[in-house]
Amino acid sequence: MKTITILSGKGGAGKSTLTASIAVMLAENNKIVAVDCDADAPNLALVLGLNEEEFDRWEPLNTGQKAQISLNKCQSLKFCPKCQVNKYCLDTCNYSAITWNMHEEIPEINEMLCTGCGACLITCPTKSIEMKEVENASIGVGKTHYGFPIVSGQLKVGESGSGKVVNTLKARAAEIADKISADYMVIDAAAGIGCPVIASVRGSDYVILVTEPTTVAFLDFKRAIELIDHFNIPCGVVINKWGINRDFSYQLQNYFQNNQIPLLGMIPYDMRFVEALINLKPAVVYEPNFRNVFTEIMNNCLFEMDKI
Ligand code: SF4
Ligand code: SF4
């Protein structure tokens, strides 16, 4: 099985639109599994017309940790007189997750702010703080109207640990891929270059980077390609909204040519893409005339992968 990850440095560049159409087209002649690894803002299933209630199942995921104070230990401050004054844990927490309850003379943790970094464990002189596992996300498995399975994750509000959530999503998708002997796993990564993106990209056979002809998107693209280079994963690029800035579109094409980055295709700026999103349909399904655009991108991608 080959894994193709689609990502963009900038949010809103058209990642999910491209992923949905490529997935639908690949599934016409192959067995595939789609994975939405943007656990902070998952929308691939919706773009494929599948809403939350239509998933076969949702399971809770406990990949997050929060600090928890044992007040019995902490209140034995007679063993740690300095702490009453210094309040080490308060000073340690860079996220202001620990506050001091003046009435009861105890520290309190705001779970919403605690990132589970564990720093307060180290500085607490009485070893009163420990980490507890918390349910921070849910993972859904469903079948799209186009016949292929989809795995999607949803981080709970205020929770962190999306990198670990992505690892779990990929592992679950790999189990399904094994069962159906999938030819491809198609991953819709989060935007940016952070932890969930790194977790999405790691182990991929090929990365499709989506950008648009704007300075902001280009700067984000350059950061994203540094990340891909770091992991030494072959990649190609797709210019979305080609034509919103023709001069810049041509400059981008030159840049990719000069830097030997394969240009897999260009998606024109067209309001029918917005209409497809509104109607919860992949662009190739909503407007069959778009098939040429996505066929070119898919074939170029498969051609580049064959060279690996
Ligand atoms: S684990 Fe980190 S974020 Fe949470 S309370 Fe301790 S220092 Fe603050
Ligand atoms: S550092 Fe430890 S002993 Fe001191 S106030 Fe915080 S939890 Fe209590």
d(CA 257, CA 229): 17
Asked whether 93 lines ligand 2 (CB < 6 A), one says no
User: How confident is the model over 38-62, as pLDDT tens digits?
Assistant: 998 899 999 999 999 999 999 999 8
Cα 126 to ligand 2 centre (Å):
7
Asked whether 117 lines ligand 1 (CB < 6 A), one says yes
Using CB atoms within 10 Å of the CB of residue 30, give its burial: 0 to 12 exposed, 13 to 18 middle, 19+ buried.
Answer: middle
d(CA 117, CA 235): 33
The pLDDT of residue 76 is 66
Share of the chain above pLDDT 70, in %: 96
Grade residue 104 by pLDDT with cuts at 50, 70 and 90: confident
Q: Rg of the Cα trace of the chain?
A: 23
DSSP string covering 47-85:
HTT--GGGSSEEEEE--EEEEEE-HHHHH-GGGSHHHHH
The pLDDT of residue 48 is 96
Ligand located closest to 87 CA: 2
For residue 60, give both structure tokens. Answer: 């809770």
The pLDDT of residue 264 is 97
The distance in angstroms from the start CA to the end CA of the chain is 14
The pLDDT of residue 84 is 65
Residues in the chain: 308
Pocket probe for ligand 2: among 68, 70, 80, 98, the residue whose CB has the most ligand atoms within 8 Å is 80
The pLDDT of residue 186 is 98
Using CB atoms within 10 Å of the CB of residue 165, give its burial: 0 to 12 exposed, 13 to 18 middle, 19+ buried.
Answer: buried
Delineate the domains of the chain, giving CATH numbers in brackets: 2-62+139-306 (3.40.50.300), 64-134 (3.30.70.20)
**Beta-sheet pairing, 206-211 with 2-7:** parallel
Percentage helix, strand, coil for the chain under 3-state DSSP, each rounded to 5: 40, 25, 35
Grade residue 308 by pLDDT with cuts at 50, 70 and 90: confident
Pocket probe for ligand 2: among 68, 75, 78, 83, the residue whose CB has the most ligand atoms within 8 Å is 83
Decide if 151 contacts 35 (C-beta within 8 A): yes
Decide if 23 contacts 148 (C-beta within 8 A): yes
H or E stretch covering 35: strand 32-36
Q: Edge to edge, what strands does the sheet with 149-155 contain?
A: 57-61, 137-143, 149-155, 32-36, 184-188, 2-7, 206-211, 235-242, 263-268
For residue 9, give both structure tokens. Answer: 């440095």
For residue 93, give both structure tokens. Answer: 């927490």
Question: Which residue is closest in CA terms to ligand 1's atom 8?
Answer: 93
The pLDDT of residue 163 is 86
pLDDT score of 286 more than 90: yes
Q: Mention every residue, 6+ apart, whose C-beta is less than 8 A from residue 109.
A: 66, 67, 68, 69, 97, 98
Question: Which residue is closest in CA terms to ligand 1's atom 2?
Answer: 117
Confidence (pTM): 0.87
Q: Calculate helix-pair angle for 246-258, 215-230, nearest 10 degrees.
A: 20
Cα 136 to ligand 2 centre (Å):
26
HSE-CB for 251 with a 13 A CA cutoff: 10
